[in-house]
Amino acid sequence: MKKSSSIDNPFFRLMGAIGDLVVLNILWLLCCLPVVTAGASTLALFAIVHKIVAGEDYRTASGFFKAFRRDFKQATALWLVVLAAGIAALAGLRAASAQDDVFTGLLAAASFLLLAGVCCCGCWGLALLARFTYRHGLLALLDGARMTVANLLPTVGILALLAWMPLLWVLAPGWFIYLLLPLFLAGGSVTALGMAALMRPAVARMEQAGRKPEPPRDPFRDPFEEEQTDGEDDLT
């Protein structure tokens, strides 16, 4: 006889998923408040949404903080490079807007392409670093640049997910005001979920090729504790 449970009801599963996305978004926003930690916070967000898209088991808050702590150094190194390149691109756009000639037009085009490329490479890099092991965050960024070029359709989708909110703010600020509460509650997590869905075919191919998800050594863990654990594993 088949058992039925209200917990397995599609409505309750949907409400649970929405609740998880709200919790993830709030955690992401709070951990992004010091700008320097935004990279690690975004990586932790990607770590959970990757599992949601792949249909894997996950823990929302504890999984977020585990990924945040585990890859903090690598994600921060990647993020600082992306942030510096993004600031340079924005500075180029601002300088180009001050004058109107051929040179500034070329500068504006180059700055815009740099900004778009940096955003896409950064998203790919953090998403890959959240899923796979890299010796250094910059290696994940290089891999992200490769994936940006090799997966143009998902990259265009990622760029659209990044651009729609700023465009709405500029083109229709009246409508944007009505979306402030939903964006605050789940804007970042839903965007990351969409990106993870777009990346999933490429990520799945990497996994099938032998790039298994494997968490790196915890940089905040006590080395003596690691040696003691290794010794216990040898005894067993």
Between 95 and 48, the more confident residue is: 48
Q: What total of structural domains would you count in the chain?
A: 1
3-state SS assignment for residue 234:
helix
Q: Quick check: is 5 in a domain?
A: no
235 inside domain: no
Is 181 contained in some domain? yes
Residue 234 lies in a domain: no
When mean pLDDT is compared across 9-13, 99-103, 202-206, the lowest value belongs to: 99-103
Measured CA distances, 178 to 18, 25, 149, 165, 173 (Å): 19, 18, 36, 12, 9
**Cβ atoms < 10 Å from Cβ of 181:** 10
Average of pLDDT values for 74-84?
A: 97
Q: CA distances (Å), 48 to each of 24, 89, 124, 178, 193, in order? A: 8, 30, 15, 28, 9
pLDDT in tens, 28-73: 999 999 899 999 999 999 999 999 999 999 999 999 999 999 999 9
Structural domain boundaries, residue 181? 11-222
Q: What is the model's pTM?
A: 0.83
Q: Does residue 231 lie in a domain region?
A: no
The per-residue pLDDT for range 144-201, each reduced to its tens digit, is: 999 999 999 999 999 999 998 888 888 888 887 888 888 899 999 999 999 999 999 9
Share of the chain above pLDDT 70, in %: 86
* 3-class SS of residue 9: coil
In contact, 120 and 159? CB cutoff 8 Å: yes
Tell me, yes or no, whether 194 lies in a domain: yes
The Cα–Cα gap between 22 and 156 comes to: 26
Asked whether 88 and 148 are in contact (CB, 8 A), the reply is no
